[in-house]
Chains A and B, each alone.
Chain A
Amino acid sequence: MKVSELLEQRRENWQELERLCLIMESRRRKSLGAATLSRFAALYRAACADLALADAYQLPTNNVQYLHLLVGRAHNQLYRSRKFAFGKWIESLLVDVPQQIFQDRCVQAVFCLFWGVFTLSAVFASSEELWPGFAESIMGEDAISQMEESFSEPIDGRNPNQDFAMAGFYIQHNTGIGLRCFALGIAVVPGIWTTLFNAASLGAAFGFMARPDVPQGVNFFNFVTAHGPFELTAIVLSAGAGLRIGFSWIHTQGWTRSAALRIGAQNAMPIMGAAMVMFFLAALIEGFVSPSGFPLWSKQVVGIVSSGMLMFHFLVLGYPRRA
């Protein structure tokens, strides 16, 4: 059979498949009946067979290219992926993720580094004598005066405007820090540097505000108590997830570097997912509880409950089970 006859024979099928692709790509997909869908599958298989035999048929190059496009387009309509699989995520968040976090060396390392530097920096910044000018050199004079100004008025819900502006700033600032630590973790050194730098400056902020001679300290702790546990833990987790990806291409365990990178990413994704959930919870608290006029003890309760939930998640759910 000559090519031209073959093309005439197939043309109708191909053009029908093209029309169906067009419908599938638009919103009218749901209105297609079962018969049309199975017709689509059959046409797709036929086009696949034609493409497989294109060489044997001696199809001209432009027709082969057309077939490539057609098959690719139909393939993308047939093998669709789900946008977000929420049910599965919740299950893995409560069962697999805590186990993984508990045993993950990178998360452990980042946990120690972050909290170690944070505590040290807080101690140095908390007194004038221990290391004169420490807080100023870590955070910068401008940032300190800006912080003093933003916490100058008591948080009692009487000035919701300013409080919401502050909440908005800290949500974007701190979640941004977390995402930055994660993304830069792939390149290892910048990731560790960013994490340590932020640990030091956050610690310095806490320490500086804890000085007895800083009057804004009361307002500061009133603001951060409720959402602090979720937010700082989330930063630690996202930095740990980034570092897990970063170390995977250094310590490849026998894989090629790109394959090791992909495997590391697969391991890090659940940790990052948990961090995102925590950032989200922290943002909720930060938006509605922290800037509100609730009494300090209620914010402390929120802080203690959220710390308890985190402990439960990491230690109880995460404690290695015997198989």
Chain B
Amino acid sequence: MPDIPQLDSTISVVTPENISFDYRVAGPFQRLPAYLLDLMLAAVLFLFIQIGLSLTLGWLGSGLATGASLIIWFAIFWFYGGIFETWMNGQTPGKRLMGLRVLTVDGTPINGMQAVMRNVLRLADSMPLLSLEVLQIPVPVYVIPTFVLGVAVMAVNRRYQRLGDIVCGTLVVVEEPSWRLSGVAKIDDSRAAQLAEFIPPNFRVSRTLARALASYVDRRRFLSRERRSEIASPLADPLLQQFQLPPDTSPDLLLCSLYLKTFVSNRVEGAPRKRAANDSPFTNAESV
């Protein structure tokens, strides 16, 4: 695992099988909406319980209902996140909606203790608290969280951990939404296969070139024609000279054919052996 500070917000986790795989770490701007959603859900939950209590226990006496609702308020305030993260495998409803999950720093699911503690310790992250007086309410009660401390701590470590996360050894990752094996990119243009036969058989594609080809072909369907040739030509032009192909060959087509040659197979089925005169690969016409 290269230990180079990277610009991407991914971390790699090394498993006991000596494999390292990558997670994308969630930053403060992905976690804040999840937290606000959770706050709203907790408020709604408390409201419903309150209504339920006053309908049931309220008959028995208002004091019992008040006591019970105070204890439920306490439980929701301190343990909402901890309980959900324990039973929903590191997710609260807000985190699930935002596609986040809490894991330990070695990539395993968190346990109950960590879930409860990191949520209790959110109070320390929410420091310094502001008084209600900033909202023009003349009560000097310090209850408005600013999360300055938490954000400051997040900013100075690579995993965006707040204090509670550091203490419990946890981190929040983004769950990848797309979950499909896409395989090799399809190239519909038959001219690419024809052009592949003109590439010298002794040309070996280096590892970095293969990587560049793969990411180019993967993304070219999102690019316009002009953009394709603009991006492809710095790589393709020297290769065209090397292969002694006509200089007006489409750079996009050349990269596609190199991709076919490298990743798909030496001989593409269905590629006509004989070229039709009007279907020459050596034209500047773009493949679709």
Contact = CB atoms under 8 A, between A and B. Distances in A.
A184 B163 CA distance: 11
A79 B64 CA distance: 45
A55 B182 CA distance: 17
Contacts of A146: none
B78 A176 contact: yes
B122 to A, nearest CB: 8
Nearest to A44: B17
A265 B168 contact: yes
Interface string B160-194: 00010011110000001001111111000000000
B63 A48 contact: no
A185 B266 CA distance: 67
Interface string B26-69: 00000000000000000000000000000000000111101111
Interface string A41-82: 000110010011001001111110111110110011001111
A264 B182 CA distance: 46
Interface stretch (A27-35, A99-107, A167-175, A223-231): A167-175
A161 B61 contact: yes
The interface centre, meaning the residue of B18, B19, B214 with most chain A CB atoms within 10 A of its CB, is: B19
Contacts of B210: 58
Interface stretch (A3-11, A116-124, A295-303): A3-11
A75 B107 contact: yes
Interface string B94-133: 0000000001100111111100010011111001100000
B211 interface: yes
A266 B286 CA distance: 63
Contact of B22 (A62, A68, A84, A161): A68
A168 B19 contact: no
B61 to A, nearest CB: 4
A262 interface: yes
Contact of A169 (B21, B70, B111, B163): B70
Contact of A187 (B74, B122, B124, B211): B124
A53 B127 CA distance: 47
A3 B264 contact: yes
Nearest to A45: B17
Nearest to B168: A265
A166 interface: yes
A160 B168 CA distance: 41
A48 B181 contact: no
B182 A66 contact: yes
Contact residue range for chain B? 35 or more
Interface in A123-178: 159-169, 171-172, 175-176
A168 B64 CA distance: 9
Contacts of A69: 176, 179
Given A4-B265, A72-B107, A168 B184 contact: no
B157 interface: yes
A83 interface: yes
Interface string A243-269: 001000000000000100110110001
Nearest to A162: B63
A261 B125 CA distance: 14
B279 interface: no
B267 to A, nearest CB: 10
A186 interface: yes
Nearest to B214: A60
Contacts of B214: 58-62
Contacts of B69: 168
Nearest to B106: A79
A23 interface: no
B180 A183 contact: no
Contact of A83 (B13, B86, B157): B86
B215 interface: yes
A298 B169 CA distance: 46
B257 to A, nearest CB: 14
A264 B207 CA distance: 46
Nearest to B207: A58
Contact of A81 (B17, B22, B108): B108
A182 interface: yes
A287 to B, nearest CB: 8
B73 interface: yes
Given A61-B215, A71-B21, 10 more contacts: A14-B181, A18-B179, A69-B179, A72-B23, A75-B21, A81-B111, A163-B63, A164-B64, A169-B67, A176-B77
Interface of B: 13, 15-19, 21-23, 61-64, 66-71, 73-74, 77-78, 86-87, 103-104, 107-113, 117, 120-124, 127-128, 149, 157, 163, 166-169, 176, 179-185, 207, 210-211, 214-215, 217-218, 262-266
Closest 9 pairs (CB-CB, A-B): A161-B63, A168-B67, A172-B74, A60-B214, A183-B123, A161-B61, A168-B70, A164-B67, A165-B66
26 contacts: A4-B265, A7-B183, A11-B181, A58-B214, A62-B218, A65-B176, A66-B182, A72-B22, A75-B21, A79-B16, A79-B109, A83-B86, A84-B112, A161-B63, A164-B63, A165-B63, A165-B67, A168-B66, A168-B71, A180-B123, A183-B120, A183-B121, A190-B127, A261-B163, A261-B167, A269-B113
